Amino acid sequence: MRILSGIQPSGKLHIGNYFGMMKPAIELQSQGDAYLFIANYHALTSVKDADRLRADTVDVALDFLACGLDPTRTVFFRQSDVPEVTELMWLLSTVTPMGLLERCHSYKDKLAKGIASSHALFSYPVLMAADILAVQSTLVPVGRDQKQHVEVTRDIAIKFNQQYGEVFTIPEPSIREEVAVVPGIDGQKMSKSYDNHIELFGDPKAVKKRIMRIVTDCTPLEEPKDPETCNVFKLYRLFATPDQREAMETRYRTPGFGYGEAKKALLDIMTEALAPFRAKRETLAADPGYVERVLQAGATRARAEAGRTLAAARRAMGLT
C-alpha cells in the first residue's frame, strides 16, 4: 500500500491541522509506504509573498518533524523539488475534460472566499492528480471536502489508461470519518481563513488569549452544563485520555463549574500535551540546515519514483 498526503504552507499550522491531517498522516507511516509533501506549488494560488512562502515551508516541515514524522519511514519532500510532477500535469491535462474541472466545487468555494480567479486555481485538481499519480499512490487520505479531487484523479487516470495503455495505478480515497470537525474559537470549523484558529506552536500568551475567547453559551454558573454542546469541551477531549474526558464530563454536570475553569483546564492539558513537541521543535530549529537536508533527501527518493512514472507516460504518448 502506497499512501500519499500533502499540506499547503499557507500560514502557521493550528490544532485543527494537527488533528485533521498531521496526526493521521504521521500514524500512517507505520501502515504502508508513506509519502508526504509540502504543497508549495498549490500554495501559490493564495500566497503571493516569496519570503513568507519560504518561511512557512520551513515552519510546516519543522512542525511535522517535531510532532513525530520520521523521514526514514516517510518520503518527506517539498513539491517544487520534484519537477516531474509539473510535466506530468501537462500530459494529464491533455486528457482532462473541461466539464470535469467545471464541476469541481473547490474552485467556486475559493472564489467565494475572495481568492482571485486564475488558471492555476481552476486547474488545481489536475496538479493534485499529478501529485497522486506521479508516485503511483494506492491510497489518499482526505477529508470529505477533498474527496472530489481524488475522484477527479481517478477519472483522469482511467481515461489516460484507456487511451494510452496501463500507466497509472488507480488510487482510492480514504475518508477520515473518525476525525471530528475541530471547532474554532467561534464554534465554526477551525480555519485560518476564519481567523478562529489556535496555533499549534503559537506564543503561549497568544494561545491563552485565544482560548479565553472561545464562545460559550450563557448557562448560569450555578446550573449544570452540557459538555456535548460546549466548544471548550470539544477541544479538551481531543487532548484528553478517556479517564480525563469522563472526569471533565462529571465536572460539567456539577453545579458551580464555570466555563472559565473549563478554559483553564483546556489550556493546561493542551500545554502539557504539546510540550514534548515544542521542545523537539526548538532543538530541530537550532540546526538551520536540518530541514533542508531532510527535504532534499525526500525529494531524491520522490523524484526517482516520479521519474519512472513520467518516463512511462512519455513513452505511452509517443514523446520518446
**CATH top class, domain 2-181+289-317:** alpha beta
| Structural fold of domain 192-283 | Tyrosyl-Transfer RNA Synthetase (1.10.240)
Exactly one of 12, 147, 192, 280 is catalytic; name it. Answer: 192
Does residue 205 have an active-site annotation?
Answer: no
Which pLDDT score, from 0 to 100, does residue 178 have?
A: 53
Does residue 23 have an active-site annotation?
Answer: no
Q: Are strands 33-38 and 139-142 parallel, antiparallel or unpaired?
A: unpaired
Locate CATH 1.10.240.10 in the chain: 192-283
* Alpha helices, H only, the chain: 15-17, 23-28, 40-43, 50-66, 84-93, 98-102, 105-112, 119-122, 124-134, 147-164, 204-212, 231-239, 242-252, 259-285, 290-317
Structural element, H or E, at residue 38:
strand 33-38
Locate CATH 3.40.50.620 in the chain: 2-181+289-317
Residue 140's DSSP bridge partners are 173
> DSSP letters along 121-164, please?
HHTHHHHHHHHHHHTT-SEEEE-GGGHHHHHHHHHHHHHHHHHH
> DSSP letters along 160-178, please?
HHHHH-S-S---EEEE-TT
Angle at CA of residue 226, ends 220 and 228, nearest 5°: 145
pLDDT truncated to tens, each residue of the chain (320 aa)? 999 999 999 899 999 999 988 998 999 888 889 999 999 999 998 899 999 999 999 999 999 999 999 999 999 999 999 999 999 999 999 999 999 998 888 777 777 777 778 899 899 999 999 999 999 999 998 877 778 889 999 999 999 999 999 999 999 988 765 555 799 999 998 988 889 999 999 999 999 999 999 999 999 999 999 999 999 999 999 999 999 999 999 999 999 999 999 999 999 999 999 999 999 999 999 998 999 999 999 999 999 999 999 999 999 999 98
Exactly one of 147, 189, 264, 280 is catalytic; name it. Answer: 189
Does residue 208 have an active-site annotation?
Answer: no
**How far apart are alpha carbons 86 and 134 in whole angstroms?**
10
Which pLDDT score, from 0 to 100, does residue 209 have?
A: 97
